[in-house]
Amino acid sequence: MINGIEFAGIASGVKPSGLDLGLVFFREDVNVLSLYTRNKVKAAHILYNKKMGAGPMRALLVNSGCANACTGKEGTDDLGAIAEKLAPLLKIKTGEILFASTGVIGKRLPSGAIIRSLPLLAKNLKDTHLDSFSQAIMTTDTYPKVVKDTFRGKKEYTVIGVAKGSGMINPLFATMLAFVFTDYPVAPAVLKRSFVHSVKESFERITVDGECSTNDTVMLFTKRGPEDPQGTAPFKEALLSVMQNLSMMVVKDGEGATRVAHIVVKGAKKKEIAEKIARRIAISPLTKTAFFGCDPNWGRIIAAAGDADVPVVASKVGIVLQGELIVKNGLEVPFDEQALKKMMNKKEISVIVDLNDGKASFDIYTTDLTYDYIKINASYRT
Amino acid sequence: MINGIEFAGIASGVKPSGLDLGLVFFREDVNVLSLYTRNKVKAAHILYNKKMGAGPMRALLVNSGCANACTGKEGTDDLGAIAEKLAPLLKIKTGEILFASTGVIGKRLPSGAIIRSLPLLAKNLKDTHLDSFSQAIMTTDTYPKVVKDTFRGKKEYTVIGVAKGSGMINPLFATMLAFVFTDYPVAPAVLKRSFVHSVKESFERITVDGECSTNDTVMLFTKRGPEDPQGTAPFKEALLSVMQNLSMMVVKDGEGATRVAHIVVKGAKKKEIAEKIARRIAISPLTKTAFFGCDPNWGRIIAAAGDADVPVVASKVGIVLQGELIVKNGLEVPFDEQALKKMMNKKEISVIVDLNDGKASFDIYTTDLTYDYIKINASYRT
């Protein structure tokens, strides 16, 4: 709970059943920092929010079940119409409302149903209703994702992060919505770099299926003045920690995932090389199915590394799987396959690829690729 | 059957069961053109063959069940040792033998077992044994892949292509082995460009899982002199046709595939833009699971297009699925979802994405992503 921030989540009918509409109301003006998808096709809420600017803001309306992407001018007009109805209910200005959507692409928002639900939604607003908000933004997520942290400046402050996954997840960044709230008063200019840095080190370090969505959104809402510079450093730490914890919740709840694999590539000449190789391994269907099958099939890992379009000297490569050195100088170190299979039958798999070619490194988290991913996605719309 | 070319395929014990060792013997010298994987990690046979040069050659030994990749100096030495034993059996020189391997990465060839099998293999050589050769090179393939064509120069000539898939398939190119044989006498220099072109227009136009292997190999074996220039143009046509037919057999037999989708991207400013978008759509797990589920989920197609790192103007995009216009100017054209689902329940799916931004186009074939892909690959090694 953060003093001054109220949440609500209700069922408005965007989805056939379940909570699908969430609202955050800020009793006082807040500043907003946002990062949006790098997909060339962007959802209506991104186009809309960008016109609204950085604040001060008073409300955030989020729906699940409909991405409101590829909906053209009508898609952004729908948001304008909703804002006009929501503003008087909250006694704020139309321009003080931001939006986010997630769900199926290409369908217009059922704005009639949403507008009809707004009075109930506004009535539900409460400091303590974070739970229903966090549920209302879920799609194929199997659990809500909320992280809380506190830190001290002149006094104690709180940071709360809420996110949803769980498919179309790829770094640069994850296909998801994430919102971070705090009662710490700070100017956006002070935070910009560390906000971007925190996103890079959290949501851009996970992948589920290599898919970058039209809707990816990370927003940070901070209190306006009087500032408390004493808290800046601890706040930045808390921000990074909250985002990292949230991103781990997202990847662990990746569609159909039974395990999370931590891919570390080290010994690279440059960080960019380590990053390309780590990302290539992390999206490899053959590597991910091997994780699912507890198969210590390191050939797939090295083949993915070799396909990353950066130099790899096979004869230098070492691979450590679950702490066991299984490849040295590009060659297999004899290992007990049955024992290693057993060791892989865990929630977490650790893969370290050492290029032995320099000092740079990069790491990323990915999921296994399972029957359930197919099940979820072969019939998502219907 | 081609006069002067003998085939054999036997079970040598590389695999626990089934044919796994194939031999091609050329009664007269042949020239060879080869294209190998662009993966930075290359199998032993590629490193070995490159040292052997372009011919004249007399034999090709192919094994399945072991990729002989990431096996270091020992891996190429094993091939040298096998060549030394095979050469006297065929009464040719050690340096006249080429190799190809496919299977699990990181394991050394069981060269003892292979060497012990060579006399039987050589004894099995026959003009008519193409069938057992085509079976011996298979891994997860469900059927052998052979294509035959004839054409006329001064006389009638034959082209025969043999290939294997069926996972780790991505263009640039497919993870597969493909061998093309002909009795047409022609200098390699005359063919080089059209060989590369034919590969680009066939094996580089298919993908199964976006994985580029360490072993990809395409080889063309042609007769040596006296040339017949009259046949050059018809031969080039036949070569392209054989490779295109082979590559279609490979993609149709993609691991776990139930359908093949033909992705056409047109209306691009440049061919490179169309190609990047087509390839991005073709490897998208969400698009491929939608094909599996007969889900006309065009949002996934346009989201993949937007994630190709090239300009896309969403408001110009049109999408035609199974001949039905379902997206115009980036917006959904109302369609009967149930009817379209039924139309998608076919062996072949056609997707046309029109960027309406220019005149360039590119097309590629991909598979759907299914439970069986997971099944095959979660337990391939064991």
Same domain for A267 and A237?
no
Question: Which of A67, A289, A375 lies closest to B378 in CB terms?
Answer: A289
Under 8 Å between Cβ of B147 and B161: yes
pLDDT tens string A116-164: 999 999 999 999 999 999 999 998 889 999 999 999 999 999 999 999 9
pLDDT in the model for residue B132: 97
Counted domains in chain B: 2
Domain range enclosing B280? 260-377
pLDDT in the model for residue A54: 72
Taking an 8 Å cut-off on Cβ atoms, the answer to whether B214 and A40 are in contact is: no
Same domain for B215 and B299?
no
Under 8 Å between Cβ of B299 and A70: yes
Taking an 8 Å cut-off on Cβ atoms, the answer to whether B373 and A299 are in contact is: no
- Cα(A270)–Cα(A361) distance, integer angstroms: 8
* Catalytic machinery residues of B: 175
Question: Which of A72, A168, A303 lies closest to B41 in CB terms?
Answer: A303
Same domain for B278 and B218?
no
Domain boundary among B252, B275, B292: B252
Suggest the residue from B38, B40, B341 to mutate for an interface test with chain A (most A CBs closer than 10 A).
B40
Suggest the residue from B78, B208, B374, B375 to mutate for an interface test with chain A (most A CBs closer than 10 A).
B374
Taking an 8 Å cut-off on Cβ atoms, the answer to whether B371 and A373 are in contact is: no
Taking an 8 Å cut-off on Cβ atoms, the answer to whether A286 and B67 are in contact is: no
Among A76, A102, A140, A175, the one annotated catalytic: A175
Residue B166 to chain A, least CA–CA distance (Å): 12
Same domain for A190 and A88?
yes
Bridge-based pairing state of the strands B318-321 and B324-328: antiparallel
- Residues in chain A within 8 Å Cβ distance of B39: 303, 306-307
The reply to whether B351 falls in a domain is yes
Residue B188 to chain A, least CA–CA distance (Å): 29
Taking an 8 Å cut-off on Cβ atoms, the answer to whether B306 and A104 are in contact is: no
Domain boundary among B252, B269, B289: B252
SS (H, E, C) chain B: CCCCEEEEEECCCCCCCCCCEEEEEEEEEEEEEEEECCCCCCCHHHHHHHHHCCCCEEEEEEEEEECCCCCHHHHHHHHHHHHHHHHHHHCCCHHHEEEEEEEECCCCCCHHHHHHHHHHHHHCCECCCHHHHHHHCCCCCCCCEEEEEEEECCCEEEEEEEEECCCCCCCCCCCCEEEEEEEEECCHHHHHHHHHHHHHCCHHHEECCCCCCCCCEEEEEEECCCCCHHHHHHHHHHHHHHHHHHHHHHHHCCCCCCCEEEEEEEEECCHHHHHHHHHHHHHCHHHHHHHHCCCCCHHHHHHHHHCCCCCCCHHHCEEEECCEEEEECCEECCCCHHHHHHHHCCCEEEEEEECCCCCEEEEEEEECCCHHHHHHHCCCCC
Same domain for B68 and B15?
yes
**Tokens matching residue A165:** 């996954």
A175 in active site: yes
Question: Which of B212, B310, B369 lies closest to A307 in CB terms?
Answer: B212
Taking an 8 Å cut-off on Cβ atoms, the answer to whether B106 and A373 are in contact is: no
* Phi, psi angle pair for A184, to nearest 5°: -80, 125
For chain A, list residues with pLDDT below 50: 171-174, 382
The reply to whether B382 falls in a domain is no
* CATH value at residue A355: 3.10.20.340
- Cα(A255)–Cα(A250) distance, integer angstroms: 10
Under 8 Å between Cβ of A374 and B371: yes
Under 8 Å between Cβ of B82 and B115: yes
The reply to whether A277 falls in a domain is yes
- Residues in chain B within 8 Å Cβ distance of A69: 299, 303
Taking an 8 Å cut-off on Cβ atoms, the answer to whether B302 and A105 are in contact is: yes
Cβ-Cβ contacts under 8 Å for B284 (sequence gap 6 or more):
A210, A211, B300, B301, B304
Same domain for B244 and B264?
no
The reply to whether B307 falls in a domain is yes
Q: How far is CA A310 from the centre of its chain?
A: 27
Residue in A closest to B172 by C-alpha = A307
Per-residue pLDDT of chain B (382 residues; tens, 9 = 90+): 899 999 999 999 999 999 999 999 999 999 999 999 989 999 999 999 999 977 799 999 999 999 999 999 999 999 999 999 999 999 999 999 999 999 888 999 999 999 999 999 999 999 999 999 999 999 888 999 999 999 999 999 999 999 998 766 554 444 589 999 999 999 988 999 999 999 999 998 988 777 778 999 999 999 998 999 999 999 999 999 999 999 999 999 988 999 999 999 999 999 999 999 999 999 999 999 999 999 999 999 999 999 999 999 999 999 999 999 999 999 999 999 999 999 999 999 999 999 999 999 999 999 999 999 889 888 755 4
Same domain for B222 and B137?
yes
The reply to whether A163 falls in a domain is yes
Same domain for B181 and B215?
yes
Taking an 8 Å cut-off on Cβ atoms, the answer to whether A211 and B304 are in contact is: yes
Same domain for B293 and B329?
yes
Q: At what angle do helices A285-292 and A298-306 cross, to 10 degrees?
A: 160
A 10 A CB-CB count for B338 gives 10
Same domain for A190 and A277?
no
Residue in B closest to A212 by C-alpha = B307
pLDDT in the model for residue A315: 94
- Residues in chain A within 8 Å Cβ distance of B285: 209-211, 285, 369, 373, 377
Taking an 8 Å cut-off on Cβ atoms, the answer to whether B303 and A168 are in contact is: yes
Taking an 8 Å cut-off on Cβ atoms, the answer to whether A302 and B105 are in contact is: yes
pLDDT in the model for residue B173: 40
Question: Which of B310, B329, B378 lies closest to A295 in CB terms?
Answer: B378
pTM: 0.88
Question: Which of B38, B369, B378 lies closest to A292 in CB terms?
Answer: B378
pLDDT in the model for residue B175: 59
- Residues in chain A within 8 Å Cβ distance of B369: 285, 374
Closest CA to A291 of A359, A348, A210: A348
pLDDT in the model for residue A169: 55
Residue A132 to chain B, least CA–CA distance (Å): 28
pLDDT in the model for residue A377: 85
* CATH value at residue A11: 3.60.70.12
Taking an 8 Å cut-off on Cβ atoms, the answer to whether B41 and A369 are in contact is: no
pLDDT in the model for residue A213: 85
The reply to whether B323 falls in a domain is yes
Question: Which of B40, B42, B312 lies closest to A41 in CB terms?
Answer: B312
- Residues in chain B within 8 Å Cβ distance of A378: 289-290, 292-293, 295
- Cα(A63)–Cα(A43) distance, integer angstroms: 13
Question: Which of B72, B211, B314 lies closest to A315 in CB terms?
Answer: B72
The reply to whether A93 falls in a domain is yes
Taking an 8 Å cut-off on Cβ atoms, the answer to whether B380 and A295 are in contact is: yes
- Residues in chain B within 8 Å Cβ distance of A107: 332
Four-residue CA torsion sign, B88, B93, B96, B100: positive
Same domain for B53 and B93?
yes
Strand partners, A179: A162, A219
pLDDT in the model for residue A175: 59
Same domain for A94 and A141?
yes
Alpha-carbon distances, residue A86 vs A47, A78, A83, A120 (angstroms): 19, 12, 5, 11
Taking an 8 Å cut-off on Cβ atoms, the answer to whether B374 and A379 are in contact is: no
- Residues in chain B within 8 Å Cβ distance of A369: 285, 374
pLDDT in the model for residue A174: 42
Domain boundary among B252, B276, B293: B252
Closest CA to A267 of A222, A228, A229, A312: A312
Cβ-Cβ contacts under 8 Å for B372 (sequence gap 6 or more):
B255, B256, B258
The reply to whether A382 falls in a domain is no
- Residues in chain B within 8 Å Cβ distance of A304: 211
CB pairs under 8 A between A and B: 215
Cβ-Cβ contacts under 8 Å for B339 (sequence gap 6 or more):
none
